[in-house]
Structure 1
């Protein structure tokens, strides 16, 4: 039997185009994964409301990871298929929610104190119209982006040296700041990599074998996810540059940003895993 595989992916600038959020060019690879029964797990800074809508559009039944690893959503049918018990999970309709981060209200309270020292604008300070202007999202999509449970995106108005000081203050409250594609994200000390490792353990328990893993991302908040898998795919930024980290020694560099590059990156990663499996 072929070794089981799981694919984990960031969204903005990775599966979704940075400029128009389209995934159309990725559909051939998405459909191939479905035919091969390879789970496609979305892992993003986006909210549950945003990601639930996208999973419905793509007809995905896999779990998904919201707010940079702060929340894992396991659809009830997938939980039943995997036959797993989820500790400390909260049932919400047909989904099981696993919270791994801090409460957003507490994060916003701490940030309000830090505003006396640092200059930034968080989602709590923005209207729906402000978020539309920052992201290019529709008003409906922007409202979903603002419905957060365990993280707070913000625009940083100072230099990198001040950001390091800001991060040090956050650590006193067991919080961290991560750089995403458009925003910095303040959250608990969990990350995308933690969530990926947790889900891989569930899949390996189900298959009774080690699961080969692929992850795709483009930003520093994807780094721990990329390091947690067998084959990482680094996506280019809109200006053609790539995130660099010395630990990603075997990373594939996708040739294009967004959905087109995602499709080619997935195809190359799958081919590499297949060749490795077939090697004598």
Structure 2
């Protein structure tokens, strides 16, 4: 027997890049629920942002926040996990990197060398202007725990230099759709996906097939490690290349419409279910 485990980015993937709507994906999401296929959200968004969004999506599965910095597992799932996790209300928490305060501290002395604006330098009104988020969602987006996004306005060469500088502190910079994200070197969507895949694989003897869907540069690692990598077409940037994966799918449609098409195609293929 084969079972499927889905990992999905949000912005530009399950959520429309411009409107943040997930309506075109609702039927496909329901299909996954009906078949008891977990759909793990794997996003740059924060825990606080996901609490309200998960209610809208009726999402009951684990979720990965802040570009792979931490995994939250609902206690109600009763997954057997062979390590000690942090207790966080209704969730078990597995963190992969340092707290946000350390990231802010390490970049304070870099402000004179490069031009960038961190979330900690912005007001929620600034963030609303940059992203189009409403006030409530902008405030939630700023409640970060493990990462510090930057609006990078310097050159790519300058970003490479800052990357080199931060590496000595075990800090990396991942480039997302709108922001560059400071985080611990072990914080990565792929690492978090692989850790959670092991958790699911240990629950029974079924063969587990992983499917990952994403549209940005920060999704490449996750896509490259999945059994079925799906690149969601974006209206604002070229599809990211997934190294050494000539089998990666590229959707015809954009955002949640392309997401739904990919899910439907996998579910219709023989041997998956």
Q: Which residue of 1 aligns with 2:183?
A: 187
Asked if residue 39 in structure 1 is aligned to residue 34 in structure 2, the reply is no
5+ residue gaps in structure 1? none
5+ residue gaps in structure 2? none
Q: Which residue of 2 aligns with 1:267?
A: 264
Q: Which residue of 1 aligns with 2:143?
A: 147
Contact map agreement 1:102 1:188 (CA 8 A) in 2: yes
Instruction: Report the aligned-residue RMSD.
Output: 1.4
Give, in whole Å, the separation in 2 of the partners of 1:200 and 1:245: 20
Q: Which residue of 1 aligns with 2:127?
A: 131
SS of alignment partner, residue 275 of structure 1: coil
Report how many residues are paired: 272
Q: Which residue of 2 aligns with 1:103?
A: 99
Q: Which residue of 1 aligns with 2:50?
A: 51
Report deviation, 1:85: 4.1
Give, in whole Å, the separation in 2 of the partners of 1:110 and 1:95: 30
TM-score normalized by structure 1? Answer: 0.93
Report deviation, 1:240: 6.3
Give, in whole Å, the separation in 2 of the partners of 1:216 and 1:123: 26
Report deviation, 1:110: 0.6
Give, in whole Å, the separation in 2 of the partners of 1:132 and 1:71: 25
Give, in whole Å, the separation in 1 of the partners of 2:9 and 2:251: 14
Q: Which residue of 2 aligns with 1:225?
A: 222
Higher strand share: 2
SS of alignment partner, residue 69 of structure 1: coil
Give, in whole Å, the separation in 2 of the partners of 1:235 and 1:59: 22
Contact map agreement 1:218 1:236 (CA 8 A) in 2: yes
Give, in whole Å, the separation in 2 of the partners of 1:277 and 1:32: 14
1:22-74 CA deviation, whole Å, 9 max, x = no partner?
00000010000000000000000000011122112211211100000111101
Which aligned pairs between 1:1-280 and structure 2 lie closer than 5 A? 2-78=1-77, 80=78, 82-87=79-84, 89-189=85-185, 190-239=187-236, 241-271=238-268, 274-276=269-271
Give, in whole Å, the separation in 2 of the partners of 1:239 and 1:114: 30
Give, in whole Å, the separation in 1 of the partners of 2:220 and 2:94: 22
Give, in whole Å, the separation in 2 of the partners of 1:270 and 1:184: 34
Moved more, 122-131 or 155-164: 155-164
1:140-183 CA deviation, whole Å, 9 max, x = no partner?
00010000000011111111111111110110111111111111
TM-score normalized by structure 2? Answer: 0.96
SS of alignment partner, residue 7 of structure 1: strand
Contact map agreement 2:214 2:223 (CA 8 A) in 1: yes
Give, in whole Å, the separation in 2 of the partners of 1:214 and 1:245: 14
Contact map agreement 2:7 2:212 (CA 8 A) in 1: yes
Give, in whole Å, the separation in 2 of the partners of 1:222 and 1:91: 28
Contact map agreement 1:233 1:269 (CA 8 A) in 2: no
Give, in whole Å, the separation in 1 of the partners of 2:121 and 2:88: 28
1:226-263 CA deviation, whole Å, 9 max, x = no partner?
11210010011214631123322111101122111110
Give, in whole Å, the separation in 2 of the partners of 1:179 and 1:266: 26
